[in-house]
Chains A and B, each alone.
Chain A
Amino acid sequence: MAFVRVPRDGVPVTQAKDVALDPSLGKRFTLKTDVVVVGSGAAGSMVAYEMAKAGRDVLVLESGRYYPSSEFTEHLGDTMTKIYQDQVGQVNTTADIIFVQGACVGGSTVVGACVMEEPGDKVLDGWAEKYGLDALSAEKFRPYLDKVAEELQIHTNEAHEINACAHKVIQGCEKMQFSWKPAQRNVKQCALTGHCLAGCPSDRKMSSLVTHLPWASAYGARIFSDTEVIRVKTLDGRARGVEARIVDPDSGAHVADMNVDADMVVLAAGGIHTPLILQRSQVPDRSGQLGRNLAIQPFTQVLGKFKEPLYGFRGALVGVQVDEFTHTDGYTIFSGLAEPESLLAQGDMKAGQAHIEFMKDYKYYAGVNAFSKDLGNGYVKWDGDAYSGSKTIHYNPSREEFENMKASAALAARIFFSGGAEKVYLPTFQSLQANSVFELDEKMDKVDYGIKGMYTFRSNSFSPHGTCRMGADPYESVVSPTGEMHDTPGLFVADASLLPESMSAPIQWTVHALAKYVSDQINNNASNYFIS
């Protein structure tokens, strides 16, 4: 292509309403392409860009809607209804952990908190050694991470990007002599509005909506929204395309069925949905690991109430991170307080006068997200028919994971008290708050593991991963070191499902880099994969 022009604004997307109005398509239609990419988030957008740039005909299918940034309202409640998976109701079987995911063109990158962190050399070298992933050793994989940093304009927060809420964390850390550092984020000229979780209306967040998707489309990639891929089609054991269903996101009406004939299928539907698609497709999996090894990076939200009004929701959402325990214990604590609705992710929010008082103290709060590392023992499962069945996410913390969550939340509480908090609200299903650091241990002791750790901590997961583990051994892993399924040629996975084991760093940066790496594997071996 001689001259490639990226539109100033928005992404050309074919939506359900366009399909409904196009008589040439009808209720059932077939499209042909070189590569069909399923999902348009961190991984899908990267693959679409890299493959289209290499001259391939690329079709991206996204089950969520297209919500252009010019229409973002900075209203979290509305955004949740429109572009969060299951309206933030995607939960584990016991409904005490929420799996938050973006379900829109651009995927979770659109609603992400912008924190970017690289995996350490030790982690990468560990993968290389343990899973036979030589290409992911620190030395070989770091150029991919560097390229992503450049593309997403990742930078370390400057002074003006560290708000009052983050300063309370800094004060606490200084007093405790805990190591902290400004977070790194993928934001260009941040406008400090504090609305990251509702999408960035001024395009400052370098989400896939303003980076890899418009770039892919400039190179000719076609993007469909409202199009849910049901299963992968195979012929003689080789992937040959997908079947999808197009549904109007407003009316729920079934608009059409799409059949795609393709030389190659790349799944990038995220750590929960990619394995579900593969289970629905009944692809062979010698390892028995498909959908297993689900690591969730559980985190709880701890609130500190301070004497003076902080308006901790103003300014950049995430300012600093406490890295004292990241490498030793896998706990990382990030400052951040979002919209009023986000307070409800915290534990018990009380009732009656006590609830109103809890909410009315909003301006006095600082918040942190206390992450802990889990062991990757969860799994996702599709039950029933491919079209009408349902998903379940199985995850309850083991005793060890429960203790990790407890330790991470307790550290966060201690940091707040050292920073001058009068009171700390604990992220538990019981109504627990500590009025001084001296009460903290006693309160924490009340959190009992109970039965399978259920309804103890009110926990969330932003970053499910590991469900299609990558590795050289087909009896231990689902996907080969090139990203291709061990037993199904032409079928690739490029997203968070690939991560071979539980990570403690936020994963988005790694996911982008892995998707770039998988794209390279495909492009470097194009003659093996494409007919033309």
Chain B
Amino acid sequence: MKNNNRAPLPGHLAGLEPLSRRGFLRASVLAGAALTSGCASLFGRKDAPETLQYYSLKPDEVDVITRLTEIMLPTERYGLPSSTTVVPTVKNIDIMAQRFPEQTRELLGLGIWVFNNRPMMSFKFKKFTSLSDAKALEYVNAMQEGAFFERGLMTTLKALIALNYWRDERTWPGLEYHGPVTETWGVRRLGNAPLPRA
């Protein structure tokens, strides 16, 4: 049983998801060694998605989201870090979903189910996960142009995936985005503002 109530990692550890606390514990039993952050390579970011642990997304949800990530973000073809094997996009979504209010989490589950199982004649009523790459992309585009609730669902799923990929700073050089600058520029902290004069 997966624990759907597990709290997420604190935000400052984002990007180190495979090194989650639970991962640490499990690995320490396996490796019989005290773990430090130096162990990243042991089960680090290059892990295949199937070796990652998911605490909020169910296995079939992971399959749908992983497939949609591949279709939406064919990154390697464009010299960007892989959206599945380098940036843990789906794992990031899993962590995010743990913090969702219950209602939102339920809606997400329903949305993923509908997205995968929605029968569409032009796709021979196949599930999204069993469509070829070209057909899957066609399906996504058709949903985006579809009825109002199809557009809504598609935009939401896309936003979730895109956010959890592009938030990884390893993707930024590909956009010529500088990222944090305060430290690089040596900007001095001003501290608290002085009390106003009476």
User: Does B30 sit at the interface, judged by CB under 8 A?
Assistant: no
Contact B166–A74 (Cβ < 8 Å): no
> How many interface residues does A have (CB within 8 Å)?
82
The reply on B144 being an interface residue by CB < 8 A is yes
Q: Are B101 and A86 in contact (CB under 8 A)?
A: yes
Report whether B151 and A429 are in contact in the complex, using a CB–CB cutoff of 8 Å. Answer: yes
| With known contacts A76-B167, A78-B14, A344-B162, A352–B71 Cβ distance under 8 A | yes
* Cβ contact of B148, chosen from A77, A87, A353, A450, cutoff 8 A: A450
Q: How far is the CA of A89 from the CA of B7 in the complex (A)?
A: 17
Closest residue of B by beta carbon distance from A94 = B152
CB-CB contacts of B142-158 with A at 8 A, as 1s and 0s?
Answer: 00110011011001101
Which residues from 318 to 363 on chain A have a C-beta closer than 8 Å to any C-beta of chain B?
A: 339-341, 343-344, 347-353, 355-356, 359-360, 362-363
Residues 170-182 of chain B, each 1 if its beta carbon lies under 8 Å from chain A, else 0 = 0110111111111
Task: Check B151 against A95 for contact (C-beta < 8 Å).
Answer: no
List, in ascending order, chain A residues with CB within 8 A of B190's CB. Answer: 188-189, 202-204, 210
| Contact yes or no, A341 B11, CB < 8 A | no
Determine the distance from Cα of A94 to Cα of B169 in the docked complex, in whole angstroms: 32
Does A340 lie within 8 Å of B144, measured CB to CB? no
Select the residue from A82, A87, A218, A352 with max chain B CB neighbours within 10 A.
Answer: A352
B75 on the interface (CB 8 Å rule)? yes
- Chain A, interface SS category: loop
In the complex the two chains form, is A87's CB within 8 Å of B99's CB? yes
B180 touching A74, Cβ below 8 Å: yes
Q: Which of B74, B75, B101, B191 has the most CB of A within 10 A?
A: B191
Set of chain B residues within 8 Å of A215, measured between Cβ atoms:
193, 195-196
A415 CA to B95 CA, complexed, in Å: 40
| Listed stretches B32-40, B46-54, B102-110, B117-125; interface member | B102-110
In the complex, the answer to whether B181 meets A74 with C-beta atoms within 8 Å is: yes
Does any Cβ of B come within 8 Å of A400's Cβ? Answer: no
B78–A360 touching, CB < 8 Å: yes
Measured between beta carbons, the chain B residues less than 8 angstroms from A10 are: 192
Q: How many angstroms between the C-alpha atoms of A360 and B77 in the bound complex? A: 13
Distance A456 CA – B148 CA, assembled complex (angstroms): 8
The answer, among A86, A188, A351, for a CB contact under 8 Å with B137, is A351
Let me know if B175 and A390 touch, CB within 8 A: no
B113 sits at the interface (CB 8 A) = no
Residues of B within 8 A of A95 (CB): 107, 152, 156
Contacting residue for B180 out of A75, A356, A390, CB 8 A:
A75
Among the listed B71, B137, B193, which residue makes an inter-chain contact with A210, where contact means beta carbons less than 8 Å apart? B193
Cα–Cα, bound, A350→B137 (Å): 10
Which residues in A have their C-beta under 8 angstroms from that of B188? 202
B144 engages A430 (CB within 8 Å): yes
Contact B189 A70 (CB under 8 A): yes
Question: B6 CB to closest chain A CB, in angstroms?
Answer: 8
The digit string for A193-213, where 1 denotes a CB below 8 A from any CB of B, is 101000001111010001100
Q: Do the beta carbons of A355 and B72 come within 8 Å of each other?
A: yes
Q: Which of A79, A193, A251 contacts B11 (CB 8 A)?
A: A79
B163 within 8 A of A: yes
User: CB-CB < 8 A to B169: which residues of A?
Assistant: 75
Contacting pair A77 B176 (CB below 8 A):
no
Given contacts A201-B182, A202-B182, A349-B158, contact A390 B167 (CB under 8 A): no
Q: Does A214 contact B (CB under 8 A)?
A: yes
Determine the distance from Cα of A359 to Cα of B176 in the docked complex, in whole angstroms.
11
Interface centre among B72, B75, B140, B194 (most CB of A within 10 A): B72
A473 contacts the other chain (CB 8 A): no
In whole angstroms, what is the CA distance A448 to B177 when docked?
A: 35
| B152 pairs with A355, CB closer than 8 A | no
Asked if B27 CB lies within 8 Å of chain A CBs, one says: no
Query: What is the CA–CA distance of A11 and B162 in the complex, to the nearest angstrom?
Result: 35
A429 touches B155 (CB 8 A): yes
**Is A23 positioned at the interface, with any CB of B under 8 Å from its CB?**
no
Contact B175 A341 (CB under 8 A): no
Q: Which 5 A-B pairs have CB atoms at the shortest separation, nearest pair first? A: A77-B167, A252-B7, A74-B180, A82-B11, A455-B152
Can you list 29 A-B pairs, Cβ within 8 angstroms, ordered by A? A6-B195, A73-B12, A74-B180, A75-B169, A78-B167, A86-B101, A96-B152, A191-B182, A202-B190, A203-B191, A203-B192, A203-B193, A215-B195, A252-B7, A340-B177, A341-B166, A341-B167, A344-B158, A351-B137, A351-B141, A351-B144, A352-B74, A355-B162, A356-B73, A356-B74, A360-B78, A429-B151, A454-B149, A455-B155
